[in-house]
Chain A
Amino acid sequence: MRKLALILSSLLVLTGCSTKTEVLATDMWVKSSEISTAQGMTAVYGTLTNDSGDDIVLTGGRTDLAEIVEIHEMAMISGEMKMQEIDGGLAIPAGQSIQLEPGGNHLMLMGLTQDLLAGDQITVTFSFRGAPDLVVEGVLAKPAEGGDEEYHSTKTDMEN
């Protein structure tokens, strides 16, 4: 059974009024990546909303498809926009949302263990300080370009 994240999130909206949902993930997607599996990297995007009364911090995540998951930001480094890991995670104040988007903050997947093909659906777990883990199923792989992103790592330099 294939489940799309959008369906799950809309069902949560419809049925979630009585349950106390602390963090909501909506419009989640991952950029498809058909590059070689050994050096593959990609990123997860979407909106995380902190519905609790406490400030929380997005500290990282997990997925079966990637060996390393980090929270990255785009920053000006030596006159060039580059991505780098955010030290200490990404704060989500009580009642607020953060956007993970191309050209901005994102959940970076590195060391892909298999190709992530357009239309694949993966499961991503987000970890927080101040809130339990959030498992998001059916995160759709989109054949997207945009955000002026180039993926670099210190060891490899490859076209996305």
Chain B
Amino acid sequence: MVSRRGFLGGGAAAAASGVLGATGGAYAAGAVGAENLETFAAKRELAFHGDHQMGIEADLQSVTNFISLDIKPGSNRASMLRFMSLLTDDIFRLSRGEPVLADPAPELAIGAARFSAYVGFGPSFFEKLGLESKMPTGFGKLPKFKVDQLQDKHSSGDVLIHIAADDPVVLAHGTRGLVRDAMPFASVRWVQSGFAHTPGMVPPGITHRNLMGQVDGTANPKLGTADFDKVVWIEDGPSWIQGGTLLAFRRIAMQLDTWDQLGTSSKEEVIGRKLSNGAPLTGDIESDIPDLGARHPNGLSVIPEFAHIRRAAPENLDERIFRRPFSYEAGISSAGSVDVGLLWTAYQRNMENQFIPIQRRLDELDLLNEWTVPIGSAEFAIAGGVRPGEVIAEALFSYGVRT
């Protein structure tokens, strides 16, 4: 008789002996494996300095905190520059897996784990500081959409610090450091925590699944391409925003109790894609271009008129966004309803030309709206990249200020 435990053990032994020839011993194979795992998770770093802030043009990390802050009364450009000086130093160190200065728990700096953080500013920030003239083009409060059921506790804010990493302890430690240094300047308005796949679950560049089961983010511009630059990174306007981007943040609750009552074909028609691999209903693989004109023999559209991908499809090439959505799970009711959804993000050069027209079409007609409800919303202008020796958003604050 082969016990299940024995069978699994045998399988593992076979796998190890496969490595044996290459490394010269079973013990060595185990040791190398563990070391490689550590290298993979802990040692991977994202670059802090560059043309853009970090953590946007990057594969999703596994855990994230969006932290929205309201600045203190009496804040001015000089105090904001001091605020940004602290955050700049902290983020640079954390991105290298190092403790921040004055870290009360430096032993928690155990590896970079692709730590990233970037900083952005909400419309209210510019009003409070009298910096309206420095606001980017196509940026402001989003219009109200019919589908919205927004809650104040999940919405708005003066300053966003968006932190992410591949390890929850690294995330928690980094979050503590950044929030600690924000406290002389601001109070926390809200924190929204989310997650995506653990590294290794899907190959880099492959679209993740959301908690409805859909592959989410298929039509995104590809990282590291000129197309990405054109959709996301701002080239003109006030110098502080050049190399930056505009973020439309939406907390989107999923009504899984009713969604889970649908069958597979109904779910696929709501989206217009196959659940199995994300291919459009008119194609075979995820990267196939949806044929919005295709019809069944009975004359009905293969991708229905109400389907999400039809309504979200850009009407012109400029009307595109880069989505980088994390999932959230915020509890389970006594009746077993899960409070889950997306911390949905759209990055773009101009919200008026990109996110807003797409969202207007979805607001008019998108059957997916039955099961997805925006309950939080915020807008942030993300400052451009940081060169060595510079402070994040320095150009927004430094003119005419004693340094």
Residue positions of A touching B, CB distance < 8 A: 1-4, 6-8, 10-11, 27, 29, 31-32, 45, 102, 117-121, 140-146
Contacts and interface: CB of A to CB of B under 8 A. Distances in A.
11 contacts: A2-B81, A2-B394, A4-B88, A32-B184, A118-B82, A118-B86, A118-B185, A119-B82, A119-B181, A120-B82, A140-B101
Q: How large is the interface on B (under 10, 10 to 19, 20 to 34, 35 or more residues)?
A: 20 to 34
B1 interface: no
Shortest Cβ-Cβ A-B pairs, 10 listed: A119-B82, A144-B102, A118-B184, A142-B102, A29-B101, A119-B85, A119-B86, A146-B104, A7-B389, A143-B184
B93 interface: yes
B276 interface: no
B181 A143 contact: yes
A85 B28 CA distance: 54
B184 A2 contact: no
Interface string B184-203: 11000000000000000000
Contacts of A8: 389
Interface centre among A10, A119, A145, A146 (most CB of B within 10 A): A119
B89 A6 contact: yes
Contact of A119 (B83, B92, B93, B389): B83
Interface centre among B83, B388, B390 (most CB of A within 10 A): B388
Interface string B171-183: 0000000001101
Nearest to B88: A4
Nearest to A32: B184
A10 B93 CA distance: 11
Contacts of A4: 85, 88-89, 389, 391
A2 B184 CA distance: 20
B403 interface: yes
Contacts of B391: 2, 4
Contacts of A29: 101-102
A146 B84 CA distance: 23
B151 interface: no
Interface in B357-403: 388-391, 394, 398, 403
A2 B85 contact: yes
A8 B86 CA distance: 15
B142 to A, nearest CB: 31
B186 to A, nearest CB: 11
B105 to A, nearest CB: 10
A1 to B, nearest CB: 7
Interface string B55-93: 000000000000000000000000101111110110011
A7 B181 contact: no
A118 B85 CA distance: 9
Contacts of B85: 2, 4, 119, 121, 140
Contact of A1 (B81, B93, B183, B389): B389
A24 B49 CA distance: 23
Interface string B39-64: 00000000000000000000000000
Contacts of B403: 1-2
Nearest to A102: B102
Given A1-B389, A11-B388, A118 B102 contact: no
A3 B84 CA distance: 12
A140 B89 contact: yes
A109 B92 CA distance: 27
Contacts of A3: 389
A54 to B, nearest CB: 29
B156 to A, nearest CB: 24
A142 B388 contact: no
B328 to A, nearest CB: 30
A117 B89 contact: no
B402 to A, nearest CB: 11
Given A118-B184, A142-B101, A143-B181, A2 B398 contact: yes
A117 B82 contact: yes
A6 B49 CA distance: 13
